[in-house]
Structure 1
Amino acid sequence: MSTDGWKNFGRYGADRDPGNIHGKIALGRALEDAVERMIIEGGIKSPPSTRRGLTARMRYLMSHKGGREALADAGVTATPATLRAWTKGTRHPRPANQEAVDTAYWTLRARNVLNNPAILKAHLNRDGRGTKVEIHPINQQVVDEPRRRDNLRIRTVQVRYVWDDAVDALAAGDADTLEGIWDDIIADLDSDWGAYTYVSHIGLGA
């Protein structure tokens, strides 16, 4: 597929695969994946069925704003005295309440991470070192054979200085800004940069 074909995506059949998407969309999805990894990988590892796992969750819930509400929303109806006992580890709830505490914990943790974009920005900026972006080209098999670019390969680039704007754009649903950021990222490639306007996947090394 010639470079000109990327200006009119789909002219030669690239849109036959719904996995071939504009880089701004793939970038947004990659950022969402990074948030999800932060929520899970930075969370409590011990299961709620253990004393350590339960008390860690209860301490988080009882010490953060919205924790009691998250417990109530998850179906926990225990008295304040019982909640304190769970937090101290002197009592252990039944399995149904263990599961509810776990649900409340992850709900609140996700909310706190999402409501604090500075955490994700710092995670991606890495004190100025930036984040590695892995760019997968579109699936060429759906493109009309004379226009295929079978020589395209996965490209990797270390990206700096764009992450604050990218996170803000994701939070605001600002696709235009994400498109501009994506154009800046692929501009660091060689003269084939236009072939990566549309991609099949973007991975972030963060």
Structure 2
Amino acid sequence: MSTDGWKNFGRYGADRDPGNVHGKIAFGRALEDALERMIVEGGIKSPPSTRRGLIARMRYLMTHKGGTQALADTGITVTPATIRAWSKGTQRPRPANLEAIDTAYWNLRAVNVLKNHAALKAHFDNRGRGTKVEIHPINQDVVDEPRRRDNLRIRSLQVRYVWADAVDALITGDLDVLEGIWDDIIADLDSDWGAYTYVSHIGLGA
């Protein structure tokens, strides 16, 4: 397939698979997936059903701004004395409240991680080493057979310098900036760049 085929995406059937999307969309999704991993992997490991897990979640909620509201948002309406008892582990919440506490904790942690833009940028920048970007070409099974490119393969690039702008664009939902960043990334593929304007998946090694 010539580069023109990618400029006119869908002319030869590539859009028959909804998983084939512009790189800026896949790149944004990859950033979101990486952020979700940061939220989960850096969070409390002990289950909320354990005393340790309960106390850890309550401590986080009670010592971070917005914790009380996060609990209220999940529907918890108990007295301050009950909150103190949960925080000390001297009283076990009912199952519904235990689930709500866990939800409140993860919601608040997600908000706090997303607010810390500097930490997010540093995570992807990786002390100047950047982050590996794995690029999966579109699913060509749906493309008209004469227009398929059987030589396309998964490509991996160690990407530097774009992450501060990428995080800002993700937070603000600026697809135009993400598109520009994606164009810069695939430019490193030289003459093959046009074949990766649209992709099926992007993975980040972060």
**TM-score clears 0.5:** yes
The corresponding residue for 2:148 is 148
Establish whether residue 168 from structure 1 lines up as the match of residue 180 from structure 2. Answer: no
Counterpart code for 1:114? L
Structure 1 CA distance for aligned equivalents of residues 14 and 191 of structure 2 = 20
Helix, strand or coil at the partner of 1:191: helix
Counterpart code for 1:182? W
Establish whether residue 50 from structure 1 lines up as the match of residue 50 from structure 2. Answer: yes
Cα distance per residue 1:94-138 (max 9 Å; x no partner): 222211111111111111112222222111111111100000000
Counterpart code for 2:136? H
Helix, strand or coil at the partner of 1:28: helix
Helix, strand or coil at the partner of 1:132: strand
Tell me the matched-pair count.
206
The corresponding residue for 1:61 is 61
**Unmatched 5+ stretches in structure 1:** none
Deviation at 1:201, TM superposition (A): 0.4
TM-score, normalised relative to structure 1: 0.96
Counterpart code for 1:39? I
Deviation at 1:12, TM superposition (A): 1.5
The corresponding residue for 1:13 is 13
- Say if 1:2 and 1:149, in contact at 8 Å, map to a contact too: no
- Say if 1:61 and 1:68, in contact at 8 Å, map to a contact too: yes
The corresponding residue for 1:203 is 203
The corresponding residue for 1:93 is 93
Tell me whether 127-136 or 116-125 shows the greater mean CA deviation: 116-125
Tell me whether 167-176 or 113-122 shows the greater mean CA deviation: 113-122
Deviation at 1:72, TM superposition (A): 1.5
Helix, strand or coil at the partner of 1:127: coil
Helix, strand or coil at the partner of 1:96: helix
Helix, strand or coil at the partner of 2:189: coil
Structure 2 CA distance for aligned equivalents of residues 36 and 142 of structure 1 = 31
Deviation at 1:17, TM superposition (A): 1.3
Moved >3 Å (runs of 4+): none
**Unmatched 5+ stretches in structure 2:** none
Structure 2 CA distance for aligned equivalents of residues 42 and 124 of structure 1 = 15
The corresponding residue for 2:128 is 128
Structure 1 CA distance for aligned equivalents of residues 173 and 70 of structure 2 = 26
- Say if 1:30 and 1:204, in contact at 8 Å, map to a contact too: yes
Helix, strand or coil at the partner of 2:126: helix
Paired-residue identity, % = 83
The corresponding residue for 1:72 is 72
CA RMSD of aligned residues (A): 1.2
Deviation at 1:199, TM superposition (A): 0.4
Structure 2 CA distance for aligned equivalents of residues 2 and 143 of structure 1 = 13
Cα distance per residue 1:124-160 (max 9 Å; x no partner): 1111111000000001111111111011000000001
Establish whether residue 102 from structure 1 lines up as the match of residue 102 from structure 2. Answer: yes
